[in-house]
Every structure is written in C-alpha cells, then in structure tokens.
Homo-oligomer: A and B are copies of this chain.
Amino acid sequence: MAGLRERKKARTHAAISDAAIALFLDRGYDQVSVAEVAEAAEVSKRTVFAYFPAKEDLVVHRFADHEAEQARVVRGRPPGTGPLTALRDHFLAGLRDRDPVTGLNDVPQILALTRMVRETPALRTRAVRFQEGAGKALAQALRETAGVPELTARLAATQVVAVHWLLSMDNHRALADGQSADDRFSAALADADHAFAVLAEGLAGYL
C-alpha cells in the first residue's frame, strides 16, 4: 500500500523533527536556526519548510493529535453521564496514567520538551492556538450531544480548556521544580477535583 514515495516522506518528516528536537533540547529553541536543523537532518532549509509550515511546528506537531481529544471524550461518553463528569473523569484517568497532557509525566525527555514549550514564547503561543481549536471542537461536541445553546456551549468549552491548561501547567511546574510524578500525584488529583468542582458548582460558592 505505502509506496516508496510515502515511506520516504514519512522518514524525512521524522528525521527533520527528530534532528530539530534534539538540537532544541540541547541548546535551546531560540539558539538553533532552521538552517542548522536542515543541516543536521541533511536536507535543505527549503525542504524543512516544505514539511513544516513554521519553525514552531517542528515541536508542536507532536501535540496536534490531542486537539480534538476533549471533543472526543464528550462524544464518546457513556450514556447517562454528563459531559463535565466525563471530562473530569478523563482528566483524572490521565493523571493516573501519567499522560503527558496532564503535565504529570516526569520522563526526562518529555519533561524537558514540556518545559521548552512553557518557557519559549513562540511555542507557548502556538500551544495556545491549539487550545482555541480544542475549544471550538469541544463547543461543537457539547452543542450536538448535550443540546446546549450556543453561547453556553462556547462558554463551557472555553472554561474547560482553560482549566485543563491551568492544571497541567501547575503539575508541570511541580515536576520541573524537582518533585516526582508520584509525589505530585495526590495533590494533582486534589487540584483537579477542586477545579472541576468549581466549574460545576460555580464561583459564587468559592469567592
């Protein structure tokens, strides 16, 4: 099925990304030029941009799959379960599984990569843009599967995405400060529980 052409393309794609990430982790994102990445991947600079629309994508394309994750969760929730419950349970499960998107993964490579995204403005910006996409998809899922009016759906989606991001950043920061994922786990659970409770019950009871 996969012609030689496709396989080669896939290999080149991976080679470029791998070379880029290795260099970035070694010397820092801003300290590595695309030209250097091209050289390391034994490809021309022009080809790098043929595979990746922008420098940031050399890193963030790895997270692209998760853009529609929350929408999927809402769509695939067991009948009788509220969307918010499903989203919370999914996040809690992610914590237990040390899913990188929860920020609770202390595998050095992943930790370093996450830190890079967090600390490099250009990458953070790109990550934020992914969240906008996630929010839109989630809002649509809420509208279609829970019969929620549009404004409410967008509101809820925005909040869920923001909470998700906030929690994962907190977890990541704890790990970046030296805590192990196992050490952080219970606090991460508590924080997530609290955050989703606030979301469900409203701010009125907490302010």
Write the residues of chain A forming the contact surface with B, with a CB cutoff of 8 angstroms.
82-84, 125, 128-129, 142, 146, 148, 151-152, 154-156, 158-159, 162-163, 166, 170, 191, 194-195, 198-204, 206-207
> Residues of B contacting A156 with CB < 8 Å?
198, 203, 206-207
Alpha-carbon distance A104/B39, docked complex (angstroms)? 52
The residue in A82, A128, A191, A206 that gathers the most chain B C-beta atoms within 10 A of its C-beta is A206
B contact residues around A198 at 8 Å (CB): 152, 155-156, 202
Q: A200-B202, A202-B202 are in contact. Are A155 and B195 (CB under 8 A)?
A: yes
A199: which B residues are within 8 A, CB to CB?
A: 202-203
Contact B204 A84 (CB under 8 A): yes
With A84-B204, A200-B204, A207-B84 as given contacts, are A162 and B158 in contact (CB-CB < 8 Å)? yes
Partner of A194 from the list B152, B162, B204 (CB cut-off 8 Å) is B152
Say yes or no: B206 contacts A148, CB within 8 Å: yes
The reply to whether A83 and B207 contact each other, CB–CB distance below 8 Å, is yes
**Neighbouring B residues of A154 by C-beta, 8 Å:** 166
In contact, B159 and A207 (Cβ under 8 angstroms): no
The answer to whether B170 and A151 have CB atoms under 8 Å apart is: yes
Task: Say how far A149's CB is from chain B's closest CB, in angstroms.
Answer: 9
**Is A207 a contact partner of B82 (Cβ separation < 8 A)?**
yes
Contact across chains for B151 and A195 when beta carbons are under 8 A apart: yes
Q: Tell me if A158 and B152 are in contact (CB < 8 A).
A: no
5 A-B pairs closest in CB distance: A202-B202, A200-B204, A201-B202, A158-B162, A200-B202
Min CB–CB distance A59 → chain B (angstroms): 17
Complex-state Cα separation, A203 to B163, whole angstroms: 13
A32→B61 CA distance, assembly (Å): 30
Which of B142, B159, B204 is the one whose CB lies under 8 Å from A159?
Answer: B159
- A203 touches which of B129, B162, B170, B200 (Cβ 8 Å): B200
Residue contact B206 to A152, C-beta cutoff 8 Å: yes
Within the complex, the shortest CB–CB distance from A152 to chain B, in Å, comes to 5
